[in-house]
Chain A
Amino acid sequence: MRTAEIGHLLRLEWQLDRRQKHAWGSMALYVVSTVYVCYQGVRHLSDVPVWNALFWIVVLFAAFNALARSFQREDAGRQLYLHTLASPRSVILARTLYNALTMVALSLLSLGAYALFIGDRPLEQAQLGTFVATVLLGGIGFAMVLTLIAALAARAGNGIGLMAILGLPIVLPMLLSVMKASKLALDGLPLSVTGQYLGWLVAIDAIAVALAWLLFPYLWRD
């Protein structure tokens, strides 16, 4: 496992994804249409707890949808190529990082679409910087926890359904702390209060990545 190898793998992912522009389009469309469906259901929301909860549900399902495909698109040839080229630990770290970057983009997009359709009233009295930081950390956190689960589901030869079953109970702790933190940020509380929950978030991320690093080689070999 070397940094250069991870960098190389990241570049490879990016090149592959650039060739499949429709994948990005489908992820973006998924988010926007989810938000639009919510909009049809609730119109404008100014109630902060409900706004917050609905937003995180949108992000959570966007994450499931986006991350499920991260190991799904693997065909046999490409896997063999990666297998001979790189160590499994580099592969999982690169994939986790790449997914984290994807989630940064996706959660910002969700936030934009959500604010546009459902309303940005709750953002008015919020600590905006802290809130956006929470959104980014939350998105990254989902990627860190769910990447290994996505690999598992793909290996089990089952799609997004299995991933939801396996992943939901595991992201729940992260979802609870991120919802709590973002609710506090929306209420306008300073970073010193919200920071504790963001700290939990980072700690869970670290543990999840360490576990993925430890366990992925066992998934990789056949």
Chain B
Amino acid sequence: MKGGWWKIGTVLLLLYVVIVGLRTPLAPALVHASVDRIAPGPVSFDIKGYNTHFTEGSVTAWLENDGQQVCSAPVEVLADDRARVTVTVPQGFRKPLTSVWVFTAKDGPIALHDAFFTEGLGDGITGTPCRPGGKYLRSGLAFPDRAILNETIRNLFFHVPMWFAMMALMTIAVWQSVRVLRSGSLEADRSALSAVHTSLLFAALGLTTGSLWARVTWGGWWTSDPKLNGSAVTVLIYAAYLVLRGSIPDAHKRARLAAVYNVFAYALMLVFLMVLPRLTDSLHPGNGGNPAFSTYDLDSSLRAVFYPAVLGWIGLACWAYTLTDRTERLNALAHEAHDR
């Protein structure tokens, strides 16, 4: 198994990614309140939690508006993830959106931010701090539970690295193309083609998984996001690369022209990928609550899996590339023998 250490490393990394990426629970969160509008006076509503532990120990709840808190009456716990909160809403909250907080002995403080549209605004109230002083027992790794994303946050380890893998293979292809230009080597040309073919496999995986994820979270198979447009252009460029190759019969000429196009297109594509987010961000200021991963604040628990995932998938892509390239070499050798 000489030189195989990186393959073992790839397998181990991906094993870690699958196990930790799928087993780590989401952090406890509140996902829903049965009321979305509150007015001064007593109000009672059910809150729905996710991965919460309402039944273990006492539960405290309070409303918060612009940093001012109003404590609830004792919380009626219905299940681990359901509880009924009764609270008297005061007159005079400053902001039109009010959050609800819950504190349990196991989960600590959890919020449903901006849960209620608030009536009866004014210049503020005389609030009291409601958060209990005690410690809480939440421990271990947990992924953040974001609205809309929920469990699909795990796709970060199975969709995003596809693009990293694709870019890594395209970089290999460009490097091989530079070798073609410098030495005219047909072997390097074959390697460039293998790298492009394999990178298109990962592009296809990235597009399919991304499309599915977008449908569930953003509500459309395709959205006008800079990342999507960038990937579409990348795929078009490499499809054009294959068309160009197909239209030139002479092997040496094909190698040279394809290499020229690859280097030119790759460099301009990099510029595009740098320019595009700035261009589109200014087209759509504020992303309508659907943050792209460029603006996404990675929690360190996500990082602990995401970085190994990127390395692992790049490793797998390189492995697939070497397999394709070796097969192509055998194929070329067979053809040579056949011609002789």
Question: B-contacting residues of A (Cβ < 8 Å)?
Answer: 145, 148-149, 152, 155-158, 162, 165-166, 168-170, 172-173, 176-177, 180, 197, 200, 203-204, 207-208, 211-212, 215, 218-219, 222
Given contacts A148-B264, A173-B275, A218-B259, contact A162 B233 (CB under 8 A): no
Would you call B248 an interface residue if the criterion is a C-beta within 8 Å of the partner chain's C-beta atoms? yes
Would you call B137 an interface residue if the criterion is a C-beta within 8 Å of the partner chain's C-beta atoms? no
Given contacts A172-B233, A180-B279, contact A215 B272 (CB under 8 A): no
B247 CB to closest chain A CB (Å) equals 5
Could you give 17 example pairs across A and B, Cβ below 8 Å? A152-B257, A152-B260, A156-B248, A156-B257, A162-B247, A165-B244, A169-B233, A169-B240, A169-B265, A170-B265, A176-B276, A207-B268, A211-B263, A211-B264, A215-B181, A219-B256, A219-B260
- Asked if A152 and B261 sit within 8 Å, CB to CB, the answer is yes
- Asked if B283 and A162 sit within 8 Å, CB to CB, the answer is no
Would you call B22 an interface residue if the criterion is a C-beta within 8 Å of the partner chain's C-beta atoms? no
Given contacts A156-B244, A157-B247, A162-B247, contact A170 B275 (CB under 8 A): no
Q: Which residues of A contact B260 (CB under 8 A)?
A: 148, 152, 215, 218-219
CA distance A149 to B257 in the complex (A): 10
CA distance A152 to B44 in the complex (A): 72
8 additional contacts (CB under 8 A) given A149-B261, A157-B248, A166-B261: A169-B236, A170-B237, A172-B233, A173-B275, A207-B267, A207-B271, A215-B181, A219-B256
* Residue ID in chain B nearest A215 by CB atoms: B260
- Asked if A170 and B257 sit within 8 Å, CB to CB, the answer is no
CA distance A40 to B248 in the complex (A): 40
Q: Which residues of B contact A212 (CB under 8 A)?
A: 264
The answer, among B243, B247, B275, for a CB contact under 8 Å with A200, is: B275
B323 CB to closest chain A CB (Å) equals 28
Question: A-contacting residues of B (Cβ < 8 Å)?
Answer: 181, 233, 236-237, 240, 243-244, 247-248, 253, 256-257, 259-261, 263-265, 267-269, 271-272, 275-276, 279, 282-283
Q: Which residues of B contact A200 (CB under 8 A)?
A: 275, 279
Q: Which residues of B contact A177 (CB under 8 A)?
A: 275, 279
- Asked if A158 and B247 sit within 8 Å, CB to CB, the answer is yes
Q: Which residues of B contact A172 (CB under 8 A)?
A: 233, 272
Given contacts A166-B244, A166-B261, A215-B263, contact A173 B271 (CB under 8 A): yes
Chain A contact residues, majority secondary structure: helix
CA distance A177 to B274 in the complex (A): 12
Q: Which residues of B contact A148 (CB under 8 A)?
A: 260, 264
B273 CB to closest chain A CB (Å) equals 9
A95 CB to closest chain B CB (Å) equals 15
CA distance A204 to B272 in the complex (A): 9
- Asked if A218 and B181 sit within 8 Å, CB to CB, the answer is yes
- Asked if A165 and B243 sit within 8 Å, CB to CB, the answer is yes
* Residue ID in chain B nearest A183 by CB atoms: B283
B226 CB to closest chain A CB (Å) equals 10
* Residue ID in chain A nearest B245 by CB atoms: A156
The answer, among B233, B243, B244, B256, for a CB contact under 8 Å with A173, is: B233
B263 CB to closest chain A CB (Å) equals 6
CA distance A173 to B275 in the complex (A): 8
CA distance A162 to B236 in the complex (A): 13
CA distance A56 to B150 in the complex (A): 42
- Asked if A173 and B263 sit within 8 Å, CB to CB, the answer is no
Q: Which residues of B contact A197 (CB under 8 A)?
A: 279
Q: Which residues of A contact B279 (CB under 8 A)?
A: 176-177, 180, 197, 200
CA distance A148 to B244 in the complex (A): 14
- Asked if A173 and B247 sit within 8 Å, CB to CB, the answer is no
- Asked if B283 and A168 sit within 8 Å, CB to CB, the answer is no
A180 CB to closest chain B CB (Å) equals 6
* Residue ID in chain A nearest B261 by CB atoms: A152
The answer, among A152, A157, A204, A219, for a CB contact under 8 Å with B268, is: A204
* Residue ID in chain A nearest B248 by CB atoms: A156
- Asked if A204 and B271 sit within 8 Å, CB to CB, the answer is yes
- Asked if A173 and B181 sit within 8 Å, CB to CB, the answer is no
CA distance A170 to B241 in the complex (A): 12
CA distance A35 to B70 in the complex (A): 66
